[in-house]
Amino acid sequence: MAEEIRDTLRLIGEELGKAYGQQMNRGEHMPDRARIISILEEIRRLMFPGFFGSENTALVAPENFAGNTLAGIYEMLYKEIRNSLLFAGKAKEEEANDLAKRETLTLLQKLPEIQNMLMKDVEAELLGDPAANSKEEIIFSYPGIFAIFVYRVAHELYVQQIPLIPRVMTEYAHGKTGIDINPGATIGEYFFIDHGTGIVIGETTVIGNHVKIYQGVTLGALSTQGGQSLSGVKRHPTIEDNVVIYSNTSILGGETVVGENSVIAGNTFVTKSVPKNTKVSALMPDLKMRTIAE
């Protein structure tokens, strides 16, 4: 039995070696997914004080709460950024410490701006959803706001060209909410996701201000057959300001632009640009009804 197990382990190791090569020697610097999720939880606690922590913020000085929370975020994030840089071969040991410190501080300095954007997103949800009773309800319970929160943090790390961590963050939100927002997408102010399940927003998507998207919407590429040769190419659509996209609609292609103030009805398939102030809809299928024999 022991010999068979050793043979199995050897074969598994050989296959991993073929697939990953030198990456196998960087395992000690593998980023910790659980810690990355903890970082998100701590940032959310900081963004929305009193909502997600166990402390009573009415009894804690704001500067103490913020200072202690930021210190903890810094320690965790620094370690994960350093590991991700080393694991991906983006830095050598001698430079990784200083680079990780700079990149960690850059993200922390962006947090007030991220918070400002998130509060605008919450306001958009409240104004756009008649079923919403309060901003507090939205912050506590809406999956769209959670997915947007994670995206906005991950996007800043993506802009900083931090490997691995941004995608780990957004895929965590994807698993929790069914909303898949690539951290490379560019999304403006007052972004409103209604319901949200099944939404896909690709890496090179550009979304303007005051855009509203319903469940099942795909902002995707026309084709990915080119594989890695398409990396960095604009593959996904541009959605201008004040656009509403209803459920189960696909808008595809890097040259596709949906002009401002347009409405895209549900169950439509769009692969060419839409002028501003336009309503796009597909022909309704014929409905047939018959009486069921009793």
What is the DSSP secondary-structure string of 10-24? HHHHHHHHHHHGGGG
The two tokens of residue 23 are 């990456």
Q: Which pLDDT score, from 0 to 100, does residue 56 have?
A: 58
The DSSP bridge partners found for residue 84 are none
Condensed to tens digits (0 to 9), the pLDDT of residues 156-191 reads 999 999 999 999 999 999 999 999 999 999 999 999
The DSSP bridge partners found for residue 269 are 250
Determine the length of the chain.
294
Residue closest to 268 by CA, chosen among 277, 255, 278, 276: 278
What is residue 77's three-state secondary structure?
helix
pLDDT values of the chain reduced to their tens digit, one per residue, 294 residues: 677 778 787 777 777 666 665 555 555 788 999 999 999 999 999 999 888 876 655 556 666 777 888 999 999 999 999 999 999 999 998 899 999 999 999 999 999 999 999 999 999 999 999 999 999 999 999 999 999 999 999 999 999 999 999 999 999 999 999 999 999 999 999 999 999 999 999 999 999 999 999 999 999 999 777 778 778 899 999 999 999 999 999 999 999 999 999 999 999 999 999 999 999 999 877 888 888 876
Beta strand extents in the chain (DSSP E only): 180-181, 186-187, 192-194, 200-201, 206-207, 212-214, 218-220, 238-239, 244-245, 250-252, 257-258, 263-264, 269-270, 279-280
Consecutive H or E run containing 276: none
Dihedral pair phi/psi, residue 16, rounded to 5°: -65, -40
Using CA atoms, how far residue 248 sits from 155, 254, 265, in Å, is 25, 19, 9
The alpha carbon of 192 is separated from its chain's Cα centroid by a whole number of angstroms, namely 14
Q: Which pLDDT score, from 0 to 100, does residue 287 have?
A: 81
Q: What is this structure's pTM?
A: 0.89
Q: Is 128 exposed, middle or buried (0-12, 13-18, 19+ CB in 10 A)?
A: middle
